[in-house]
Amino acid sequence: MASRRFFVGGNWKMNGNKESLLEVMNTLNTASLHEDTEVVCAAPSIYLDFARSGLDPRFGVAAQNCYKVEKGAFTGEISPAMIKDCGADWVVLGHSERRHVFGESDELIGQKVSHALLSDVCVVACVGETLEQREDGSTEEVVYAQTQVIAENVSDWGKVVLAYEPVWAIGTGRTATPEQAQSVHEKLRAWLRAHVSDDAADSVRIIYGGSVTAANCRELASQSDVDGFLVGGASLKPEFIDIINARA
């Protein structure tokens, strides 16, 4: 099996101002962190330059979204080219808030993934089911369908991190048990093996997102197919350091 470097993303969402985000960045810059963990912070688009200039180079910077074309009459959107121009190398696509609050379809998310990768921007691609879908037993059907559309648009799996984010566990305080997370991650890896390649299945990092905290991160990180986290609110708090060091 290929060695998969632990990956922790911090999704700042629509939070913070320059003063508060500078505090977050200073905390990260001065922290003692596990050197084998890759850390990427997803800043609001208006603060991408600020985040890239304020964070130590050991941290990556991501946008939280982008559009499917390089430029044009798309008011309010940003392109992968703009993300690169700000010095960032990552984008988060398909987050449940983009799907369920802003109505983004699987097709649109796939198009965004394709264009981001062709623009040399790495992608954290999110999949996950709602509580209703979990309770009616369709978790696998939902995440496989979402992953299928992403996979159809991936030109380089080396630039993709797959994030499993059960919608029912995001910002709710409810967290998938380590067993629940491992089960879905294991099935997603098996799906990659069956539908993409053995190499992709072995090398692609599948990370978990959904109310990850300092209290539960170590047990989650101990699961064999959990390769890291995508962290929301806790990424703005000092406990983010503990989450980054979950495997230290």
Q: What is the bridge-based pairing of β-strands 122-127 and 90-93?
A: parallel
Q: Are 114 and 155 in contact (CB under 8 A)?
A: yes
| 8 A C-beta contact, residue 121 and residue 67 | no
Would you call 71 exposed, middle or buried from its count of C-beta atoms within 10 A (0-12, 13-18, 19+)?
A: exposed
Respond yes or no: is residue 34 known to be catalytic. Answer: no
| Choice among 100, 165, 179, 195 that is catalytic | 165
Active-site residue, from 95, 115, 129, 185 = 95
**Are the C-beta atoms of 157 and 196 separated by less than 8 Å?**
yes
Distance CA 93, CA 127 (A): 9
Determine how many CB atoms are found less than 10 A away from the CB of residue 89. 17
Q: How far apart are CA 194 and CA 170, in angstroms?
A: 29
Taking the alpha carbons at both ends of the chain, their separation in whole angstroms is 21
Give the per-residue SS3 of 98-148. Answer: HHHCCCCCHHHHHHHHHHHHHCCCEEEEEECCCHHHHHCCCHHHHHHHHHH
Active site residue 129: no
Angstrom distance (rounded) from CA 179 to CA 206: 15
Q: Which of 146, 77, 147, 68 is nearest to 113 (CA)?
A: 68
Q: Which residues are catalytic?
A: 95, 165
